[in-house]
Amino acid sequence: MSLPMPWISIGNGVALIVLSLVGYALKDPANSGTTAFIPAAFGLLLVVFGALALRDNLRKHAMHAASAVALLGVVGGLVPIIMSLAKGNFGARPLALAVQIGLIVLCGEMLALCVNSFIQARRRREQEAAG
């Protein structure tokens, strides 16, 4: 049996928070490093929506909100990478790039799992209605 989606959301949220803390701890002391906490904001939202989804009456809405957060996380991680490619300074900040890639991977995985879960839930409902 697979892990329920609310727990996956909470786990991904915690992973994003840890990613931010590691990124902040490893930053150049000359920089403020506040942007390192961007993944933590997405992570906090995933934890909150995952916790709300533990309640049966809130699961559907909370998991849809979590998938929207994951989508925004993927886009939010891709935009600075695309901008750095366009400006010609891709890889100039390797730690920031690593944190952005981590954000994309964790949110992309969460989004893919949410979409898969939604498809499976729809199929179950259709089978129950037909059967």
- Which tokens in the block code for residue 56? 């049966």
Q: How confident is the model at residue 89 (pLDDT cuts 50, 70, 90)?
A: very high
Q: Residue 17's domain spans which residues?
A: 5-130
User: What pLDDT digit, counting tens, does each position of 121-131 carry?
Assistant: 999 999 999 97
Please give the pLDDT value at position 29.
81
pTM of the full predicted structure? Answer: 0.92
Average pLDDT over residues 66-95: 95
* Cα dist from 108 to 68, 75, 76, 104, 128, whole Å: 11, 9, 11, 6, 30
| Structure confidence at residue 28 (pLDDT) | 81
Number of domains in the chain: 1
SS3 91: coil
pLDDT band at 38 (very low <50, low <70, confident <90, very high): very high
